Chain A
Amino acid sequence: MTATAPAARPTPTVEPILEARRLVKTYGRVVGLDGVSLKLYPGEVLAIIGDNGAGKSTLIKCLTGAEVADEGEIFLEGKPVSFKRPQDARTHGIETVYQNLAVSPALDVASNLYLGREQRLPGPLGSVLRILDTKGMRLRATEELKKLGISTLQDVTVPVENLSGGQRQAVAVARAAAFGSKVVVLDEPTAALGVRESNQVLQLVRDLRDRGLPVILISHNMPHVFDVADRIHIQRLGKCAATITPQSHSMTDAVAIMTGAAKA
């Protein structure tokens, strides 16, 4: 009776993991978000598409604490939450991979995976001398990458600046996947990548969903969106123009709704 991928009309028994109600965000006289609502259900990939300036990134920033919405509410598993900083969203289990790739180039892969939540050695070495458990973090980073099926990163002691664009993206996605317990948000994860690397990232997105983690994916790339998304939220002029599925609409329909040539 319950659908595997919740359609635009969800069954009432499934409760959204993340829900935004009527978010408003203005920058001076520019309206970034004009009352946008959004629901993310367990085990789905929700794509957000829209033209430049439609409010995709603003929406994501408000959902992940990088910006604070002027109005509106956010619910996580039915409970109201308010994110003032990226850390707040993170402590609630929402991990984000930002478009500009928040990795530190000079640090190695393992350090980047654990950046901002480093683990110390057990016992007084860690609690008194505050020594990092570098070895343990490297071991766990290797395990985590293996679990995610990321084979392009063999050596976690390599500085990130020596990696290709796709490998860096894999580091960023792996960090989100390793620590995101409820939601993973990916902002344009394939924008800077070649065909093969894009496919690897898209496969990662499917793997995350199959492990039960819902994913919000922002992308300009229609084939990628229609490839992995279960539902597609279309932003237009700061509002949600429609929420469709790859089955209900074609790519041409989606572009038409995005540009205002058609209504859903």
Chain B
Amino acid sequence: MAQPQPEAAPATGQLDLAGEFLDRRTPLSRVRSVLHRYPAISPAIVLVIAIIIFGSINDRFLYPGNLSLILQQVAVVGTLALAQTLVILTAGIDLSVGAAMIFASMIVAQTAANNGLPGVLSLFIGLLAGLAAGALNGFLVTRLRLPPFIVTLGTLNIFVALTLLYSKGATVRGAELPDVITATGLPIAIGDVRITVGVLMMLALYVLLAFILGKTAWGRHVYAVGDDKEAARLAGISVNKVLMSVYLAAGAILAVGAWIQIGRTNAASPNAGVDLNLDSITAVVIGGTSLFGGRGVVWGTLLGAIIVGVFRSGLSLAGLDVLYQTLAVGVLIIVAVSVDQWIRKVRS
């Protein structure tokens, strides 16, 4: 009297259908969500392709000497771009970062060369100058609630003027400075590659900041503030405290940048680095950090800074006029921001 068992297949068939329905993603959108999750991938791909192309155009591009030169050229911009990354992660922007760095470098050089202070003390005063610059920006952004763009546009001009007033337009040569201040320019040989103390310091700062942003509550709060300020506030984060600490940290980092700059050029010049503000933003943007805040990693910024260096070096070794380097960097920026916009569509 056994009756034939009804087949259970229809139920599972329906489930499969539902699963298929949920995972209706094209390969392209899958690529997009991977890029969205790991913002450093796109600059890494660009860098590898650029190195392959420039290396095949001119053998000398891949010489250890040339690669180490690129790193040395990147050291100052790379350090400033790290400060810039912090600010941009909070959905701000710091136009004054280069001017503040030159200001700090002139204070270090002048107090050592003209006032005869010991090198270490001069460097410490330079650090205080960087922190003061960051505190001013942070105060104006958090207390007066002005947009960071306007605040730093103002302080950019203030720092440029203060630098020229303080230094009277005079350059301090490396020979006039204590050894500790120019030590950042000392070469270190690793095999055939010769890098400088300044390059190592920059890399150390990246490791430090990657750790802090990735592993501590403060780092998570920086992302949360940049992502959605109101949501961060309602979650119990003190938004103003986070913003203030970000600008102070940027000030400390740019003071280290000032030290690296003096070693790199073996001088402190009030007219140096007029483009450093924009170059640092360029590195951050090419590195995949979103100008809208909350998304990006410091390693992307390092790659972005190196990409700019690689393009400049590669194009000049390819025998192209220096103007084409600028043109290429301009195209890179627009492509990078377009890619960022595309990646951000994952949200909707």
**With A111-B220, A130-B216 known to touch, is A105 a contact of B347 (CB < 8 Å)?**
yes
Query: Do A98 and B234 touch across chains, with their CB atoms under 8 A apart?
Result: yes
- How many Å lie between the Cα of A171 and that of B232 in the bound state? 15
Q: Is A39 an interface residue (CB 8 A)?
A: no
User: What secondary structure prevails in chain B residues at the interface with A?
Assistant: helix
Instruction: Tell me which residues across on chain B come within 8 A of A96, comparing CB atoms.
Output: 234
Instruction: Tell me which residues across on chain A come within 8 A of B220, comparing CB atoms.
Output: 107, 111, 115, 118, 132
- How many Å lie between the Cα of A7 and that of B267 in the bound state? 81
Q: Is B24 an interface residue (CB 8 A)?
A: no
Instruction: Tell me which residues across on chain B come within 8 A of A105, comparing CB atoms.
Output: 227-228, 294, 347
> How close is A86's CB to chain B, nearest CB, in angstroms?
6
Chain A residue with Cβ nearest B347: A161
Interface flags for A66-108 (1: CB within 8 Å of B; 0: not) read 1000000000000000000011001000001010111111110
Instruction: Tell me which residues across on chain B come within 8 A of A161, comparing CB atoms.
Output: 346-347
Q: Is A12 an interface residue (CB 8 A)?
A: no
Query: Do B227 and A90 touch across chains, with their CB atoms under 8 A apart?
Result: no
> Considering residues A66, A104, A162, which has the most beta carbons from chain B within 10 angstroms of its beta carbon?
A104
Q: Which of B210-224 contact A (CB under 8 A)?
A: 215-218, 220-221, 223-224
- How many Å lie between the Cα of A66 and that of B235 in the bound state? 11
- How many Å lie between the Cα of A31 and that of B311 in the bound state? 62
Chain A residue with Cβ nearest B348: A161
> How close is A35's CB to chain B, nearest CB, in angstroms?
27
Q: Is B121 an interface residue (CB 8 A)?
A: no
**With A130-B217, A161-B346, A162-B346 known to touch, is A86 a contact of B231 (CB < 8 Å)?**
no
Q: Is A222 an interface residue (CB 8 A)?
A: no
Query: Do A116 and B237 touch across chains, with their CB atoms under 8 A apart?
Result: yes
Partner of B223, one of A90, A104, A132: A104
Q: Which of A125-171 contact B (CB under 8 A)?
A: 129-132, 134, 159, 161-162
Other 4 A-B pairs with CB < 8 A, given A111-B220, A116-B232, A130-B217 = A103-B228, A104-B231, A112-B235, A116-B221
Question: Nearest 3 A-B pairs (CB), nearest first?
Answer: A116-B236, A102-B234, A118-B217
18 A-B pairs (CB sep. < 8 Å): A102-B228, A102-B231, A103-B231, A104-B224, A104-B227, A104-B235, A106-B227, A106-B295, A107-B220, A115-B220, A116-B232, A116-B236, A116-B237, A118-B220, A130-B217, A132-B215, A132-B216, A132-B220
